[in-house]
Amino acid sequence: MKTGKIVNIECKCGKLLFRYFKAGKGKIIKCFIGRMENDLVGLGKLPTFSKPCCPDCGKELGIIMMIHGEVAIKLNQGTIKPVRV
Ligand SMILES: [Zn+2]
């Protein structure tokens, strides 16, 4: 079994955005939509290259892109609360 854990990804304003299965250790740079546990902002419905914003404070969360053939969000490090795994 792969090691990893579920982490809460939050905006710096405190809004919970989604929960994510992080495999291994390290900083979270990008998140695959398919590995999200609770997609609270509806990221899974967005087209590639859209830039979702925090529903509470309106800051840009990142950009939706295809990484290795999977839909993912590349997180805007300035907006997302740093998570350590
Ligand atoms: Zn926010």
Instruction: Determine the length of the chain.
Output: 85
pLDDT digits (tens, 9 = 90+) for 26-73: 889 999 999 999 999 999 999 999 999 999 999 999 999 999 999 999
Q: What gap in Å lies between CA 21 and CA 36, rounded to an integer?
A: 6
Place 1 in a pLDDT band, splitting at 50, 70 and 90: low
Confidence (pLDDT) at 63: 98
Domain regions of the chain by residue span: 4-75
Confidence (pLDDT) at 27: 87
Residue corresponding to tokens 């899974």: 44
Confidence (pLDDT) at 57: 98
Confidence (pLDDT) at 85: 75
Provide DSSP, 29-72. Answer: -EEEGGGEEEETT-GGGSPTT---B-TTT--B-EEEEEETTEEE
Q: How far is the CA of 2 from the centre of ligand 1 (A)?
A: 31
The pTM assigned to this predicted structure is 0.90
Q: How far is the CA of 6 from the centre of ligand 1 (A)?
A: 20
Q: How far is the CA of 54 from the centre of ligand 1 (A)?
A: 5
